[in-house]
Each structure stands twice: as C-alpha cells, then as structure tokens.
Amino acid sequence: MGASCPTCSGGWRGRRPGRASAPSHARARARRSRAAVGVGVQAGTGRGVGELHSSPARIQVEKNTRPLLFPPPAHLRADPPRMPSSDEPEAPLVLVADTDSSVAGALAGTLAAAGFRVDEVLDGPALLEFCAATPPDLVLLDVRFSIEGGVAACRSIRELPGGRAPAIVMLHGADDDDWIQPACEAGALEFLAKPVHEALLRHRVARALAWASEQAADSPAAQSGQRASGKRIHGEPLVDATEFLELASKSIPAARADGKHVAILAIDLDFECRDGSARSDLHPARIEDYVSSEVPGRIRRAVLQFEEMELPGPACGEILVGRIAPTRFAVLLPDLDRVQDAAKLGTRILEVLEPAVVIDGRDTRPSVSIGIASFPTDGDGARDLIDMAETAAYCARQEGRGNLQFYTASMSRWAFERLTLENSLRQALEREEFLVYYQPRLELPSRRVVGFEALIRWKHPQLGMVSPAQFIPLAEETGLIVPIGKWVLRTACMQARLWQKRGFQPIRMSVNLSAVQFHQPSIVDDVNGILAEVGYDPSWLELELTESMLMNDVDSTIDRLKSLKRSGIQLSIDDFGTGYSSLSYLKRFPIDSLKIDQSFVRDVTSSPDDAAIATSIILMGHSLKLNVVAEGVEDESQLAFLQVLKCNEVQGYLFSPPVPPEQAERFLTVLTEPDSSPADVALAATPHRRGGEE
C-alpha cells in the first residue's frame, strides 16, 4: 500500500490517467503490481465484519472452501471493451471497493487490463465521496467493506441524491447466505464469490453493466412492475437472478425438515450458424429476441412434460424457472424425492431446445449444456448450489453439445488446478518459461529435410513440461495466445535466420496460427512487422491454419489470406480432413499445402476407411496443384503407403520428435555434408520414443 495521503486518508486510489475529479496524488499512488485475481480469502479469517486490518488478509485455499468458479462459456464471456477514440463514448467506469489493498489492486488491475476505466477506494467515506463526485457505472463492493459492512454501503450508494445509481456487484467469501437477502433489498445486482476467476470477473462485470443499461432504458413504472411481479414472457412467470436466489434459499430449510432433496439445473445456451459462419455474424438483438420470446416457453413445456411423467411417488414441489443471465436459465426443483429425477427434466429441456431455429434469417442450431447440483448431496447454500450447477454446465459444454452433467467435487479440484495453471500462464512469457522445439519435415522419396515445424513447449518451474493440450486452449480462452503466438513466430524466424547466418542452406519454417490470432484485424501487419524486424525472407515462412478457422466468415478470410500471400508467405491447411471444408471452398483459398491429420495416418495400413480418406486427400491435393504433407508418421509401413500414393512430404516420430534447436541443427549439418544419405538423415536426431505428442 502506498504512502498515506492526508487529503484522501489513504482511501482513494486513482487508476484512470487524466480523470479530473480524482486527486492527482491519488493517481500517482496507483502504480502497483497487477497480480492475478486467482487467490482465495479464507472465509472467517483475515477480516471480519466491523474490523479493519492494516495487514493483508490471509490468502489461502483449503479443500473445504466454496468451489472455484470456472471461466464462463465463450458466448457469455464479454469481449474487453475497446478504448474509445476521441469521438466515441468512454469505456465504463468501475469502482473497486475493498479494504484489503492487495485484493483491490488485483481486481482493479484485471479490469483495467480488460479495457475498463477503474478506480479503487479503501474505506467508506472515500466510497461515498467518489460516488457523489463522479458516479461510476458499476461498483465492485466487498460484503465486509468498511465498519458498517458492504450491505450498508450498498444502501448508502443507492440513497445518494441526484443522478443514476450505479450497478453494484457484491464480492463475498462467507459460507452462509444470511447477507444475500439484505443485499438484494439494498440494490445489489450480482454476486461473485472469492476466490475470483479473472475471466468470470470480466464476464460478471460486463453482464451487470449490460443489465443495468437495459433497466435504465425502461421507464420507472416498468421497472417497478418488474420488481413487483418478476418478468413475464407470454404470460408465464419468469423470475430474475435475485428472486431465483431468494426462493431457492427458502426451499432448502423446508426440504431439510421434510427429508427431501432440492435440485438446481443451470441451462447454458450458445448458438452456431449451420452454414459455418461465425456466431458473431448473428445480430445480438435477434439472439435476444429469440431467447426472450421462445426459450422460456420451451423450458416451461419441458417442465409440463416432466410433471406429467409417471414417476413412482410424488415428483417434487412447485417448479421455478428463472433467467439468471442473458443466455442462461435456471430451474429449481424443490421437495424432490429422488435427485436422479432432475436428469429426466434436463433431458426434456435438451429435447425442446436443441432443434434448429431461424435467427436473423440464418439456420441456427442452439447448443445446450445443463449442469445439476443438489441439496444435501452437494451443499446446503443456495448460492453454492447455483455456482456448482453452473460449474457442471461448463464441464458439460466441454464434452460437446447437448450434454448434461451432475456436479462432482472433482470439478472444483479441476477448477483449482486450471486456475493455478492460468495464473502461471500469465507470468510464463515474462519469466521466459516458453521454449520452441522443431520437428523436421522430409520430402519423398528422397527423405531429405526440407523444413521444420515450430512447436511451443512450456517448461513450468514446478510442474515441469506442461502439455500444449493443457495450456493452448487456456491461452486461447484468455486471449494470451496473441502475445504468445507473436513470440513463437518471432523466435522461429530468428532461429531460421540464425541458421542461415551460420552458413546452413535456407529451409522452410512452418508456424501455427490460432483462430484468435488469425482473426485479429492486425494479423497481416503483425506478421510482416516481425519478418521485417528479424530480416527473414517471407518466402521461407509457412503459416499453418486449420479448416474450421478458415470457414468462419469466408470472404473476410480469403481477403486476409491474399494479403499474406502478397507478402510472399506460404500458407498451409493443418489437420486437413477433420473439419468441414468442401472442394469448392478449397479452390477459393490461396493456399500452398495440405497437411493430412495424423488421426488418418495412424491406422492407414489397418483401417480401410482411413486409407480411403488419406488417398482421397492426396489425390485431391495433387489435382489442385497443392503440396501434400502427412503428419504423425511413426513406422515404415505407413511411410511405404504414403510413398506409393506420391505424398510430397512427411513428418513424425519415425524420423524425429520435436527437438530443441541445437538438436534440430544436426539435420542441417547432415544436409551440408556432400556424401549424406537418407539413413544419415534418419539418424540425425538423438534417440527418441515414438507415439508421443507433436
């Protein structure tokens, strides 16, 4: 914590350069480490209601703390707000109110990095002073904030004279829900449990801002009517998140007294166009129209079907349906005799929501994932059960569309491991923990090395080598793949340039681009800038892209590919055969190579289907005058099959795994020797195991 400020009493910490209403000395003290938010304040320790501690709260996570929250599904994860130009409105202003300066700083740092304007306050007087002087769009308020407590602070903010009251998101770490009802009555819009996942923090803040904006657009009378009776869609009652939580909390004591179960189903919706275009091509207002007008009625129909099922004994009490987020619903099953019956309702909901629909004039297929948590099996707090059901829904989504899963404790353990990995990933680039390995590509039939594929590896100081399958999806989800991808491209080009300077003949360097990277508006400038910086000839660079990446917004994709081709860069479609591109589309793409996915190469000599697929890809590639590369070659029989079909190039563990640059250089040394043979090339790498990860 910075030095004490006599004017602000250490309570106001500016984080928006140039904001006139914040004292300049407060802004000067805003320089702090923007640490990751993935830390837990143990409930019942560190700081109690009515207590202020000058030392940071105890930071630890124990096995009995509330479950960690997963990052939200991709369709609910709000894009970070763009910083506006001079003629655009400013980004939303978020005020972080937490008496623990380290936690406040971490929260503020995350939101600032996401593009929000952020300020911090550390005590009650500073909070009210700030809100009165410069009303924020949203206040992130700890439930134990100040001597009076966060609920009282929330009420005080709402009672400030003049202007529009900000949206309020309450942070909590307590095990009980006693404060939730008073917080709802005081005006809290959202609740967020500590430890806070960064992606979830960004998502909840963006969601609260969106809902607050919608409420502000309504008339006061309409807002009053909604609060009094809950939103009604086509005559059916649909409660909001606050009322759902309130009624779920009331159902648990009754179920406990009667020896019954309470189940909560979290229903998560996503949408994809059946023509392969991006979901972002759908107008958000049209999605909102469908979700508001159609989904509640379909869920209600599933509930009626469930109630009419011939279940042994009484099924449950009155079923409650709520809309807890723009594309997320929840169902409460109180007084349930058998918690397994909740899955029967979940199955009915999947059946009524999964059929294709027309949204914004496009054939669209909803993707539905459902998670279920229950009392007393999983917990006895309504907020906990909702979080657990959402966690289970997230896990269900990872298994594919139309999936339903019950919550298990292992999901929280996995979430903790994932959170730990994400926090480490954010530091890995700065700490130089990433490595680039190189796997040789050999031409047929000569078996001469003609290039390398650059593959990233992560050497974690505690975990050792972390599999790319673990951290690449996480990097894409968090957006870290963009700086990481630039680093890989720069490192690979620098290595290839270094080899050339040392007298080795130029060879092609292949680098993978992720979908997130490729769809960056600046991708062409980024690639050309790195090539110019390194001094690497573009004609020796090959960029590898996947089929699915190319099929999103085809016209824009073709323009981007043509721009890269004009720079002299080679383009390749990686993992070909696993996506859904057609020959007609393939002819439109200005590509140079196809890489047959290793899943078809692996059983090419034992599976007639895989042999037929590999054969058709090679013949199709040759008919289009494309270079065809088979990856994942592990034995001589596979190689012989590919040679008969005149496959142009191969790579795989038969020749070498991905290796560090000093080992890869041995292949180049062999190439410079006048009497080298194919056998020399095969022996150039150090001993290796086969069947590993590429």
What is the structure's pLDDT at 563?
97
Q: Assess contact for 14 and 119: CB atoms under 8 A.
A: yes
Amino acid identity of residue 600, one-letter, is F
Higher pLDDT, 517 or 235: 517
pLDDT tens readout for residues 421-436: 888 998 899 899 999 9
Q: Which residues pair with 363 in a beta bridge?
A: 358
CB 39 within 8 A of CB 106: yes
User: Which residues partner with 594 through β-bridges?
Assistant: 573, 628
Nearest one of 404, 326, 341, 392 to 368, comparing CA atoms? 404
For the chain, give percent helix, strand, coil, nearest 5.
40, 20, 35
Q: Are strands 261-273 and 328-336 parallel, antiparallel or unpaired?
A: antiparallel
Tens-place pLDDT, residues 288-303: 788 888 898 889 888 8
DSSP-assigned states of every residue in 406-459: E--HHHHHHHHHHHHHHHHHHHHTTTT-EEEEEEEEEETTT--EEEEEEEEEEE
Compute the average pLDDT of residues 198-214: 74
Residue 414 has pLDDT above 90, yes or no: no
For residue 34, the model assigns a pLDDT of 29
Q: Is the pTM above the cut of 0.75? A: no
Rg of the Cα atoms in the chain: 28
> For position 77, what pLDDT does the model report?
35
pLDDT interval class at 560 (50, 70, 90): very high
Q: What is the pLDDT of residues 159-185, one digit of tens each?
A: 887 656 788 988 876 454 567 667 777
**pLDDT over 80 at 86, yes or no:** no
Q: How long, in residues, is the chain?
A: 694
Helices (H), 259-327: 284-293, 295-308
3-state DSSP assignment of residue 657:
coil
Mean pLDDT of 91-108: 89
Say if residue 374 is exposed, middle or buried (CB neighbours under 10 Å; 0-12, 13-18, 19+): buried
Where does the chain hold its CATH 3.20.20.450 domain(s)?
429-682
Q: Which residue has the higher pLDDT, 273 or 24?
A: 273
Judge contact between 237 and 230, C-beta under 8 A: yes
Partnered with residue 651 across adjacent β-strands are 631
The yes/no answer on whether domain 229-409 falls in CATH 3.30.70.270 is yes
Question: Would the pLDDT of 52 be above 90?
Answer: no
Q: What pLDDT score does 471 carry?
A: 92
Q: What is the mean pLDDT of the chain?
A: 77
Q: In terms of pLDDT, which residue wins out, 132 or 286?
A: 132
Do residues 456 and 440 lie in contact, with contact meaning Cβ atoms separated by under 8 Å? no
Residue 571 and residue 562: Cα distance in Å, rounded? 10
pLDDT greater than 50 at residue 104: yes
Percentage of the chain with pLDDT > 70? Answer: 73
pLDDT of residue 679: 54
Cα–Cα distance between 80 and 82 in angstroms, integer?
Answer: 6
* CATH homologous superfamily for the domain 429-682: EAL domain (3.20.20.450)
Evaluate if residue 75 carries a pLDDT over 50. Answer: no
| Residue found under tokens 């006693």 | 178
405 close to 399: Cβ distance less than 8 angstroms: yes
Using an 8 Å Cβ cutoff, are 132 and 18 in contact?
A: no
* 8 A C-beta contact, residue 320 and residue 247: yes
What angle is formed at CA 72 by the lines to CA 326 and CA 135, rounded to 5 degrees?
Answer: 65
* Measured distance CA(644)–CA(650) in Å, rounded: 13
pLDDT (0 to 100) of residue 94 = 95
- Sequence ranges of the chain with CATH classification 3.30.70.270: 229-409
Give the distance, in angstroms, between the CA of residue 216 and the centroid of all CA atoms in the same chain.
Answer: 29
- Kindly state the average pLDDT of the residues 84-104: 77
Query: What pLDDT was estimated at residue 689?
Result: 42
Fold that domain 12-217 belongs to in CATH: Rossmann fold (3.40.50)
CB 345 within 8 A of CB 302: yes
pLDDT, tens digit (0-9, with 9 covering 90-100), for 14-38: 443 333 334 333 333 232 322 222 2
Closest CA to 374 of 416, 415, 403, 345: 345
Residue pLDDT, tens place only, 670-690 = 755 555 554 555 555 433 444
Helix axes 523-534, 481-501, angle to 10 degrees: 30
What local confidence, expressed as pLDDT, does residue 175 receive?
Answer: 54
Q: Which two tokens stand for residue 316?
A: 């449950």
Encode pLDDT of 524-543 as tens digits.
999 999 999 999 999 999 99
CA separation, residue 372 to residues 238, 333, 343, 401, 443 (Å): 19, 10, 8, 16, 53
Average pLDDT over residues 641-647: 95
Provide the 10 A C-beta neighbour count for residue 348. 19
At 542-554, the pLDDT tens digits run: 999 988 788 777 8
Residues 161/140, Cβ–Cβ less than 8 Å: no
Which part of the chain is CATH 3.40.50.2300? 12-217
Q: What is the mean pLDDT of residues 500-504?
A: 94
Q: Which range has the worst mean pLDDT, 3-12, 345-354, 478-487?
A: 3-12
